[in-house]
Amino acid sequence: MYTTRPAEFTYHRPTNVEEAVALLADLDEARPLAGGHSLLPAMKIRFSTPLALVDLGSIHGLDRIERDGDGIQIGALSTHASVAASQVVRDDCPMLAEAADQIGDPQVRNRGTIGGSLAHADPGADYPTVVKALGVTVTTVGPDGSRQIAADDFFTGIFTTALEPAELVTSVRVPVTQSGTGGAYLKHKHPASGYAVAAVAAVVSVDGGTCSRARVVIGGVTGVPAEAREAAASLEGSPVSDEAIAAASAQVAGALGDAIGDPYASAEYRTHLATVLARRALTAAFERAGA
């Protein structure tokens, strides 16, 4: 029977990470609750039926955003709106602020969190694509202690991550964008939800007019964000030009062999969008890098 009410669950509100992890480990079928913007809709249609919710909202300090050496530490409970508005993020990693500002609508941005988005690993979500392109490190705490997981190893499948049972994302460390490096995130969004039908995050470094490093990651098209390695490699070591960018963008499709289609957008259409967005994102990224 179709219902819009969640199944019964118990509600727990720990005040520190250790208590939250202990509750998640001890309670049967317990799930962490952050902004609730993905979990609660899934519970209402009984797609997800946890027996216990462990609300992270009272854990002090999990929403902190601060500069830490050559990185920025962003607490897991930081909302998309706070990431988009953070002066530290805007100054030191503008592409991340640009991406956060494109998530959903104001209600979603004011409730949804970076930790929840990464843990949820929706193929149409914005952060997974961006954190992979930026080389972010995810910090977790679980029953066996703390781990640092590279974004490259974090997303393992559709709605699936490297998180172990009862393990929480506590923060992410984002490298500061150095001089001579630029990034851009562009997406073609679904008109109803804002989720990516296709998206591209491009990060490039330039040295004397030559591309010294490039990373191009495609979101929304495959189950996990796809790195277009051949496209990036074709740019590295070559002078920056419109022709080189066009040639690299044409190679993006090669990284999308397992593209997903649905009634809204076929796999072919998503792949085409990714190629177009790659060209635009690379052009913007090179401009920002000073090329």
159: phi > 0 → left, psi -120 to 50 → alpha, else beta; which?
left
Contact at 8 Å (CB) between 209 and 239? yes
Q: Give the long-range contacts of residues 226-232, CB within 8 A, separation 24 or more.
A: 226/255, 226/256, 227/132, 227/152, 227/255, 228/252, 228/254, 228/255, 228/278, 229/255, 230/254, 230/255, 231/255, 231/278
Min separation Cβ 196 and ligand FAD, Å: 7
Q: Which is nearer to ligand FAD, 103 or 284 (CB)?
A: 103
Which pair of structure tokens corresponds to residue 197? 């039908």
Min separation Cβ 287 and ligand FAD, Å: 25
Min separation Cβ 249 and ligand FAD, Å: 23
| Distance in angstroms (rounded) separating the CA atoms of residues 212 and 48 | 46
199 binds ligand FAD (CB under 6 A): no
Residues 262-291 that bind ligand FAD (CB under 6 A): none
204 binds ligand FAD (CB under 6 A): no
Q: Which is nearer to ligand FAD, 49 or 178 (CB)?
A: 49
Q: Which is nearer to ligand FAD, 109 or 215 (CB)?
A: 109
Min separation Cβ 110 and ligand FAD, Å: 10
| Distance in angstroms (rounded) separating the CA atoms of residues 98 and 187 | 11
151 binds ligand FAD (CB under 6 A): no
Q: Which residues contact 2 (CB under 8 A, 6 or more apart)?
A: 45
188 binds ligand FAD (CB under 6 A): no
Binding span for ligand FAD by CB under 6 A among 4-12, 114-122, 144-152, 262-270: 114-122
Residues 226-265 that bind ligand FAD (CB under 6 A): none
Instruction: Say which DSSP state 8 is in.
Output: P
* β-pair partners for 72: 67, 174
Min separation Cβ 27 and ligand FAD, Å: 13
| Distance in angstroms (rounded) separating the CA atoms of residues 51 and 28 | 7
Q: Which residues contact 25 (CB under 8 A, 6 or more apart)?
A: 143, 165, 166
Q: Which is nearer to ligand FAD, 40 or 247 (CB)?
A: 40
Size of the chain, expressed as the number of residues it contains: 291
Binding residue for ligand FAD, selected from 6, 14, 112, 183, defined by CB under 6 A: 112
Binding residue for ligand FAD, selected from 193, 209, 258, 261, defined by CB under 6 A: 193
Strand order in the sheet with 30-33: 10-12, 52-55, 30-33
Binding residue for ligand FAD, selected from 21, 23, 27, 34, defined by CB under 6 A: 34
∠123-116-51 over CA atoms, to 5°?
A: 105
108 binds ligand FAD (CB under 6 A): yes
x/- track of binding to ligand FAD for residues 49-78 (CB under 6 A): -------x-------------------x--
Binding residue for ligand FAD, selected from 94, 194, 229, 287, defined by CB under 6 A: 194
Interface ranges with ligand FAD (CB under 6 A): 31-39, 41, 56, 76, 103-104, 108, 111-113, 115-117, 119-120, 122, 125-127, 163, 168-169, 193-195
